[in-house]
């Protein structure tokens, strides 16, 4: 069994996903120990490395792609909900309070004046990566913004087509997004995806 070690501070091979194989196991080295799954830590880089290693060790491609999607959502949610970046008060974010409106803190609704159909009881009920990546102008003014390649799982395990799709599939469910990811066809997505659009942020 071939062992591939990743370590904090060391360069990750750009196309490491092509090293995935039946006889290959990936591990992350930390403090003279090696781990092959997620490490519970507040160290962001170490956390991301351990998640990447866990994903690389999933041999079934669909399971791996779904794991990447779910954990990416989780990482973004931990930032938003854990740190209350949107400064929620009485179910209103800073944007909603400034503009005396109620979009339930949905950044994409705020930027496009389109109410998301998946908001229920002041909460988003689906895992939509595109919506999580795009933040309103209030957060952008504070220097808070996210890119696909900020997340190691997406940077190294999704190809450029999958990145475009999950970054632009607004107001879509996890299942709808994963169908596009599994299909991996930018042509089909462009022509037939009913909700996928290249939407430019328009500051209000």
Among residues of the chain, what percentage have pLDDT more than 70?
89
Q: Read off the pLDDT of residues 147-165 as tens digits, 9 standing for 90 and up.
A: 999 999 999 999 999 999 9
pLDDT bin (cut points 50, 70, 90) of residue 17 is very high
Distance of CA 1 to the CA centre of its chain: 31
Contact partners, residue 202, CB within 8 Å, separation at least 6: 111, 112
User: Burial letters for 157-193: b for 16+ Cβ neighbours within 10 Å, e otherwise?
Assistant: bbeebbbbbbbbbbbbeeebbbebbeeeeeeebeeeb
Q: State the pLDDT at residue 106.
A: 73
Tell me the torsion sign for CA atoms 42, 43, 45, 50. negative
Q: State the pLDDT at residue 108.
A: 61
Contact partners, residue 119, CB within 8 Å, separation at least 6: 104, 106, 109, 125
Q: What is the dihedral of CA 76, 78, 84, 86, to 10 degrees?
A: 10
Q: State the pLDDT at residue 201.
A: 38
Q: State the pLDDT at residue 112.
A: 58
Residue 14 has pLDDT above 60, yes or no: yes
Q: State the pLDDT at residue 202.
A: 37
Q: State the pLDDT at residue 114.
A: 64
DSSP assignment string, 116-160: -TTEETTEE-S--HHHHH---HHHHHTT----GGGSHHHHHHS-H
Residue 199 has pLDDT above 60, yes or no: no
**pTM of the prediction?**
0.87
R_g over Cα of the chain: 18
Q: State the pLDDT at residue 117.
A: 81
Rounded to whole angstroms, the Cα distance separating 10 from 19 reads 17
Q: Read off the pLDDT of residues 67-124 as tens digits, 9 standing for 90 and up.
A: 999 999 999 988 877 788 888 888 788 888 888 777 666 766 555 556 778 888 777 8
Task: Compute the average pLDDT of residues 115-136.
Answer: 84
Contact partners, residue 66, CB within 8 Å, separation at least 6: 178
Rounded to whole angstroms, the Cα distance separating 158 from 140 reads 25
């Amino acid at each position: 069994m071939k062992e591939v070690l990743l370590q904090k501070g060391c360069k990750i091979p750009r196309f490491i996903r092509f090293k995935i194989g039946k006889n290959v196991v990936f591990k992350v080295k930390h403090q003279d120990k090696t781990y092959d799954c997620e490490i519970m830590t507040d160290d962001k880089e170490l956390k991301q490395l351990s998640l990447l290693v866990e994903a690389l060790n999933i041999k079934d491609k669909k399971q791996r792609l779904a794991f990447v999607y779910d954990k990416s959502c989780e990482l973004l949610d931990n930032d938003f909900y854990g740190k209350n970046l949107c400064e929620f008060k009485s179910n209103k974010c800073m944007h909603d309070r400034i503009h005396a409106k109620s979009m339930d803190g949905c950044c994409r609704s705020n930027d496009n004046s389109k109410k998301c159909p998946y908001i229920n009881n002041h909460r988003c009920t689906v895992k939509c990566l595109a919506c999580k990546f795009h933040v309103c102008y209030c957060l952008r003014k504070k220097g808070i913004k996210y890119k696909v390649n900020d997340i190691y799982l997406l940077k190294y395990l999704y190809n450029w087509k999958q990145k475009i799709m999950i970054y632009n599939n607004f107001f879509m469910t996890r299942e709808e997004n994963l169908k596009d990811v599994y299909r991996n066809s930018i042509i089909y997505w462009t022509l037939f995806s009913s909700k996928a659009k290249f939407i430019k942020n328009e500051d209000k």
